[in-house]
Structure 1
Amino acid sequence: MSAVLLERDDDGIVWFTINRQEKRNAINYEVMDALQETIRLVEENDKVKVLVLTGAGQQAFCSGGDLSEFHRLHTKEEAYQMLSKMGAILYSLLTISKPTVALLNGSAVGGGCELATACDFRYAKTGIKAGFIQGTLGITTGWGGATMLFEKLPYTHALDLLLKARRMPSEQLHEYGWIHSLISENKEIKEECRKLLEPYLAQSAPVLRAYKQAAVQKWKTEEFRGRFFAEIEQCAVLWESDEHEEAVRTFLNRS
């Protein structure tokens, strides 16, 4: 079974669905490569207007990196190779010249929240929870999530989400400004997402591209890229710590 489902609507939406329900839609190298290729295709295809990322099923949007695969990474160098690969993909997602949406059909934790933060908009079902829980694993955000969060949210809201390192209800995350629209859990989430996107889809692709290009210029600087990848390197340092090793071991034994 493919780890990713890809669809394109006639109205210009590309739906990228992580299809690993047995792993709560955790990201592995197959998902990384598929996302990288999808970003490239969306960037180059003038008929695509919006990219929507979501997860299969109703339980999880994305549970971050697949620790059952990444637990083999022990040294700073090994960790940085994986972290910088996904970080570069999220940087491409952040700066893509098309509007992007993270459609949170279920919970999002850790790297799943970093993935969602890279998108322009976050729509979420009521009743779900999401959180930057990296601190509970003895590490920090490792895919550029904190750098993006401080760009997109008020300082105290962003810092609070990172320091608490816990799951919060989507309603509270909406108040913080991280979630932009709440969708009733009784509604069909993809249809509701499509309704929210209708005003954007009514515009031409060149108009959407022009506005998005204007928006992301501030992130296409050496200063921003430097901060982005310095964050990733810091996570790699913490990755080889005893605290992280023990936290991962406890997580895998519990799973």
Structure 2
Amino acid sequence: MQQDSDVIFTIEGAVATITLNRRTRHNALTTSMLEDIERSVASVERNDEVRVLKFTSNGQRFFCSGADINEWGDIDPQRMGTRFIRDGNRVFRRIAELDKPTIAVLSGSAIGGGFELALACDFRYASVDARIGFPEAAVGAIPGWMGCARLSELVGATRTRELILLGELVGAVTAAQWGIVNEALAADELAARVDAVCATLQKRSRTSLSVGKRLIRMMESGEHEYAHELAASVCKASPDASEGVAAFREKRHANFS
């Protein structure tokens, strides 16, 4: 995608990056942007060289200000559900189900649909200046892209009610205390911390990361015992398992294929 596009997709080594680049609208998401994001995620799915996917943004104030109200504000209720919401849910589900680790880098505020995009990722690292939340109640809407469900799974019903019903934003430090983001860092420390996480993930077993993500999804669906049995069997059958055991016994770092 072109550098002047609203969504920029790049790959450096084993790390792919999707950058929201619609600064004039605080990176508000449109249907076209969702389509670009989905194409980028599909490319990551097919590329065996990519180990980690990051979501970043251009512009310091906002990671993403949500779904563009100019796009959804005037559409009829039928198309709101069957097109706009359905399209977003499909894209965010694809992000959540990607077998490779995903990281949302919140250098600015993540609001509404932007917060939902971050919740679809495995990790969230935020600048201390970022603010996070669901203000939809103030405009007669709700978080439509599975934000209610993902937030509830993350922090439970009490905090979810607080964020969704009050519609007030919280700072990144509070979000870290609540377990919504992994860490809140100074702006000049954020990129280095995310780079370190990416480097660590690249050293881990591809099989373990892939199966671990699927295991977590199965646990969320309630199939806990069966999920653990299946996951343990799949990992044990992989070459990574043999290499991991051998490396442990030989007191060396594992060389995962």
Q: Deviations over 1:179-230 (max 9, x none)?
A: 111221233x333311133221211433322222222234679xxxxxxxxx
Q: Which has the higher contact order (CA 8 A, sep 6+)?
A: 1
**Paired amino acid for 1:58:** Q
Counterpart residue number, 2:32: 30
Q: Give 2:117's aligned residue.
A: 115
Deviates more, 1:158-167 or 1:29-38: 158-167
Aligned AA (2:7): V
Structure possessing the higher radius of gyration over alpha carbons: 2
Question: Offset of 1:146 from its aligned partner?
Answer: 0.4
Question: 2:197 is matched with which residue?
Answer: 196
Contact 1:126 1:185 in 2 (8 A): yes
Give the match's secondary structure for 1:197. helix
1:52 is the counterpart of 2:46 = no
Paired AA for residue 117 in structure 1:
L
Please report the TM-score for the alignment, with normalisation by the length of structure 1.
0.80
Letter in 2 for 1:3: D
Query: Does the Cα contact within 8 Å between 1:62 and 1:108 map onto a contact in 2?
Result: yes
- 2:5 paired residue number: 2
For these two proteins, the number of residue pairs brought into alignment is 218
- Aligned with 1:186 (options 185, 188, 208): 188
> Normalising by the residue count of structure 2, what TM-score does the alignment of the two structures yield?
0.80
* DSSP-derived class of the 2:163 partner: helix
Amino acid at match of 2:9: L
Alignment pair present for 1:205 and 2:206: yes
Correspondences of 1:1-255 after superposition (within 5 Å): 1-10=4-13, 12-73=14-75, 75-80=76-81, 81-187=83-189, 189-218=190-219
**What one-letter code is carried by the residue in structure 2 that aligns with 1:200?**
L
Contact 1:3/1:20 (<8 A) preserved: yes
- Alpha-carbon displacement from aligned partner over 1:137-178 (angstroms, at most 9, x marks no partner): 111111111011111223212222222211111001111100
Q: Which AA in structure 2 matches 1:183?
A: L
Range 208-217 or range 36-45, more displaced: 208-217
- Identity among equivalent positions (%) equals 27
Task: Give 1:124's aligned amino acid.
Answer: A
For the residue of structure 2 that corresponds to 1:79, the secondary structure is helix
For structure 2, which runs of at least 5 residues remain unmatched after alignment? 223-257
